[in-house]
Chain A
């Protein structure tokens, strides 16, 4: 049976061999195996090469502004909690331009999955440093090499007591699929940072480099242990993959209390003319 998210023969803007291809394929398989209805799935993205992903699978999508995927994703879920919402983009989009939203989205904890293609370089603008570029990485702009400390999204998320924090590697489709399944099923904000080789602009962090520099967390890691999760997230010699931290809590939609007495999404609701009239009536100041 054909995958329900398959688009068929379409023009894709990624370079041959790009790490985005395995991520797209894995995502489609994950969604199909989770039996998600494409008509109930909204993909939200920003701008960049990774941000084009919603165009390449069958779903509703909101391809918004650079760095701004998380606010609309939060709002879409908040006004219709029946939808499955995935916000997916690159590291420049989510951690650079959208850094403030990344922080506050974690605090808000909407029930969305945040997938970040982390290739440690800017692709669409042709090879400048990204927030996750390693120190010393040379680019046409960072001519003497990057002098800023790399942004550590996992450590930041765990510091903010995020609901779910994981890292995967694009090259390992089976493990990535399992991590994505857990993230999408998880209630609350779920971050999945995915190492993704950029074959055109990042000659340092290649498929082989990632292979040599990662290892999977095993059963000895307790994902409910925030301190342990933080320690793992700050390791630099070899970079752990897997689910770092799981912290179940009420979602933003639940906390708004908008659905406590009425389960309907907002678009199905009408103005309550009686309630409005009685609110207006209080302005007679009769007491």
Chain B
């Protein structure tokens, strides 16, 4: 499945940047995606990187197209290696069609022999301009030249990007990007590299952002005004984003001493009327599980953003996986209701994070936003977020003198008061408690309180997000996925072009939408695509919908699914 289309009929171009940590791959990615997007091209970028600050090998895959692109591919049309080990790092993705652009010293022999190598002395050019530091911007210029972008627009963007730096630095960066552009122009280039698809003026007005930023914006839209967390890849981006915009957007962001403090702070903040978030990953979330149980018992709303990475224990800190579904589902001792969202797109990341705050507040339960490294670190352009839907639903009441925090009601939801608002007292207790919130060992009260908490789990079923069915309504085969694989599976199915196959994507994985059994029952064959080794969502469907999928397509090597992975996997399953 390597390069199935050939270069002549290219709908999109895939450019891979590869270098050591600390070498500035990120700068090239940021500049290039922004230049392409502001030029009116659709872009998608995602990276895989090592858990180290210097050295190793990291790569970013950037796709550029005249049509929307939102998924990772294996295909590598252009490779830009930035150090000697780079070509070897991505060797499996190298094909005879791959054009390699880089310094002669870092391009491996086989790539040179393929006769599709463009040697550009990035460092030499940079040194002439003012220092090695400019070599990344020389590379940006070279790639821009390769793609045939308007040089003046490229220079204008570089000027804007570095605007806050000194005049010298701006001037040198402009020289660097021009020099890279000119250097590539002097070479004998293979055909088909210049972008043949038309840019669109509409794309210029679109947003270009990452999953981490979409979750952060969704939190603000959801009324989040308190976040306490402990840094841990890949969840840190959300904390950083909220900290950077906190004062202006009214969010108190605090780095806690550990994850235990983080969630206990969030629950305390929520008790006092804040809309509280924690953002965490793997082992950090494991430390929070007692707190999750506390939120369940106190009936304090809290939103937990859990960005998954491969475990167990420290696992692969900077890689991706969808293996903490069961952890999130069962985290915390005792029985209490919860909500689990798993956004698949940037729009869903925004909408569902916002919704998580509203529903956590409405039902006084912990609400999860389950993402992963792939979604956190994926950038692409989207039309925008619908702010007209941004309504912060609040469910706080002014207390009366005889207020009882855990008043027994039909649907289990007790009106939620907060201290200092009204004339009542608000008492919450992690022990089993009576309606006033005081410790009790009255076993009848115990039963009433368990029933009350679980009744909320029934009530919140009214708000379950429907899974999205894409493809023919009279499908014979159904490909089920959840969370971050949305666009990858969607593009794979489009590529396979089967008229009998539909895709069913779950952005809420618990509770499961009641249509699940019917939707699966209609298919002759079902496959669940997910990024873990044991088929966790497939098991969840079996348990909660009472139906079993026929096959699972799983991946757990730490990398995200690519479009080719899904195409090949589904094809193999079909051949049985």
Residues of A within 8 A of B (CB): 13, 38-40, 42, 44, 47, 52, 54-55, 58-65, 68, 70-76, 78-80, 82-83, 100-101, 103-104, 256-258, 265-267, 269-273, 275-277, 279-280, 283-287
Contacts and interface: CB of A to CB of B under 8 A. Distances in A.
Interface in B277-322: 290-291, 294, 298
A276 B221 contact: yes
- Tell me what chain B mostly uses at the interface: helix, strand, loop, or mixed: mixed
Nearest to B293: A65
B430 A64 contact: yes
A60 B160 CA distance: 54
A68 B272 contact: no
Interface string B424-435: 011111110000
Nearest to B224: A271
Contact of A65 (B204, B248, B290, B390): B290
26 contacts: A38-B425, A52-B439, A62-B298, A62-B428, A64-B268, A64-B298, A72-B271, A75-B228, A75-B265, A75-B268, A75-B274, A76-B268, A76-B269, A76-B272, A266-B226, A266-B250, A266-B252, A267-B272, A271-B250, A273-B390, A275-B248, A276-B217, A284-B204, A284-B208, A285-B208, A286-B204
A117 B363 CA distance: 36
A267 B428 contact: no
A271 B271 contact: no
B427 to A, nearest CB: 5
B418 to A, nearest CB: 6
B559 interface: no
Nearest to B426: A60
B245 A279 contact: yes
B249 A276 contact: yes
B425 to A, nearest CB: 5
Interface stretch (B87-95, B101-109, B256-264, B534-542): B256-264
Nearest to B268: A72
Interface in B362-392: 384-385, 387, 390, 392
A83 B272 contact: yes
A170 B204 CA distance: 70
Contact of B257 (A13, A100, A258, A272): A100
B267 interface: yes
A279 B425 contact: no
A40 B257 CA distance: 28
Ranked 9 nearest A-B pairs via Cβ: A72-B268, A267-B273, A75-B268, A60-B419, A104-B257, A71-B264, A287-B160, A75-B269, A283-B207
Contact of B390 (A104, A256, A271, A285): A271
Given A72-B268, A279-B217, A285-B37, A100 B258 contact: yes
A136 B24 CA distance: 59
A267 B399 CA distance: 14
Interface of B: 34, 37-38, 157, 160-161, 163, 204-209, 213, 217, 220-221, 223, 225-226, 228, 245, 247-250, 252, 254, 256-258, 260-262, 264-269, 271-274, 276, 290-291, 294, 298, 384-385, 387, 390, 392, 396, 418-421, 423, 425-431, 437-439
Given A60-B426, A267-B272, 19 more contacts: A42-B272, A55-B427, A65-B290, A71-B261, A72-B267, A72-B271, A79-B273, A100-B257, A103-B257, A104-B256, A265-B272, A266-B274, A277-B387, A279-B217, A279-B249, A283-B209, A284-B206, A286-B204, A287-B160
Nearest to B428: A62
Contact of B267 (A60, A61, A64, A271): A64
Contact of A39 (B157, B161, B423): B423
Query: Which interface residue of B207, B264, B294 has the most chain A CB atoms within 10 A?
Result: B264
A61 B273 contact: no
A247 to B, nearest CB: 21
A42 B208 contact: no
B252 A256 contact: yes
A75 B272 contact: yes
B272 A273 contact: no
Contacts of A13: 439
B160 A280 contact: no
Contacts of B209: 283
Contact of B430 (A47, A266, A272): A47
B221 A79 contact: no
A2 B429 CA distance: 26
A101 to B, nearest CB: 6
A58 B207 CA distance: 52
Given A82-B420, A266-B226, A64 B272 contact: no
B268 A271 contact: no
Contacts of A40: 419-420
A40 B422 CA distance: 10
A280 B385 contact: yes
Contact of A101 (B37, B257, B267, B384): B257
